[in-house]
Structure 1
Amino acid sequence: MATPKKVFIFDDNIEILELCTIILEDAGYEIKTSSTSNDIVEQVSAYTPDLIFMDNWLPDVGGIDATRKLKSHEGLKHIPVIYFSANNDVKSLAEQAGADGYLSKPFDIEELEKIVSKHV
């Protein structure tokens, strides 16, 4: 059997982390979550996910800076980052950050699964 694809979710909202974990584990993915994007390169390097969801409003280091750090890192820039926000301008935030896609909150389960299967 193939190894499950790994998804790393950065969000400071525990309920969103739990909801995404339940949905994506049910769909057969392996999930890791973090409520901060501090030491983003170390966190991601240690887990080597196939896909990352990045919230915009994270304490200390925001989602844009965290995404840019990943995208400028030689060993990690190939990992797709999906920008994840309740902002009306989530699309332009995702573009500023250099993300590979975006998902607005609140999202529906099908949308979440679709975007994951598209990128992994």
Structure 2
Amino acid sequence: MSNNSPKRIVIFDDDEDILSICSYILEEQGWEVHTFTDCNSITEKVSTVQPQVILMDNWIPDAGGIIATQTLKNDATLKDIPVVYFSANSDIQLLADHAGAETYLAKPFDLDELERVINDVLVK
């Protein structure tokens, strides 16, 4: 990991508790964390940050995580950024596949899982 610029991550979730916990943990590990409580104008939000990883909640307002992820995957400049889809839905694997996300994380998750999933997509 080069020390010239921090690793950037974007979290889309309308649950402030999840945002604050994830931000705290990831900042401790040297991430620059950007959080959004809706996915409106998603391509502009992600383009501005240029993150290495995106965490996407299934129930993000207004369009929802599937449409938000598909929007990113249909954008030529953003489609290669890995998306970690997270949800408490029992069909999370199907939802993540439908959205086109690289992987998924079932809620509730523990922080070790969060770190593992993020590190897995960074290696790819």
The residue that corresponds to 1:99 in the other structure is 101
2:20 is matched with which residue: 6, 18, 21?
Answer: 18
2:88 aligned with 1:69, yes or no? Answer: no
Give distance in 1, aligned partners of 2:86 and 2:107: 7
Determine which of 11, 29, 32 is the counterpart of 1:30.
32
CA–CA distance in structure 2, aligned partners of residues 85 and 9 of structure 1: 13
Q: How does 1:68-87 map to 2 (within 5 A)?
A: 68-87=70-89
Give 1:119 shift.
Answer: 1.7
Deviation at 1:2, TM superposition (A): 4.1
Q: Which residue type is aligned with residue 69 of structure 1? A: T
**Structure 1 residue 3: Cα displacement:** 2.0
Distance 1:78 1:92 in 2: 20
Aligned residue number for residue 90 of structure 2: 88
SS in 1 for 2:86: strand
Code of the aligned partner of 1:83: Y
1:102 and 1:24, CA in 2 relative to 1: closer, same or farther beyond 3 A?
A: same
Query: CA separation in 1, counterparts of 2:35 and 2:73?
Result: 19
Aligned-partner SS, 2:77: coil
Q: Which runs of at least 4 in structure 1 moved beyond 4 Å after TM superposition?
A: none
CA RMSD of aligned residues (A): 0.8
Partner of 1:57: 59
1:48 aligns with 50
Q: Which residue of 2 aligns with 1:114?
A: 116
1:3 aligns with 2:1: no
TM-score norm. by structure 1 comes to: 0.97
Percent identity among equivalent residues? 50
Please list every run of 5 or more consecutive structure 1 residues that lacks an aligned counterpart in the other structure.
none
Find the aligned partners of 1:59 and 1:3 in 2 and give their Cα distance. Answer: 31
Give the number of equivalent residue pairs.
120
- Describe the superposition over 1:10-59 as per-residue Cα deviations: whole angstroms up to 9, x where unpaired: 00000000000001111111100000000000000010000000000012
Give the letter aligned to residue 55 of structure 1. Answer: D
- 1:63-108 CA-to-partner distances (Å, cap 9, x unmatched) read 0000000001000000000101011111110000000000001001
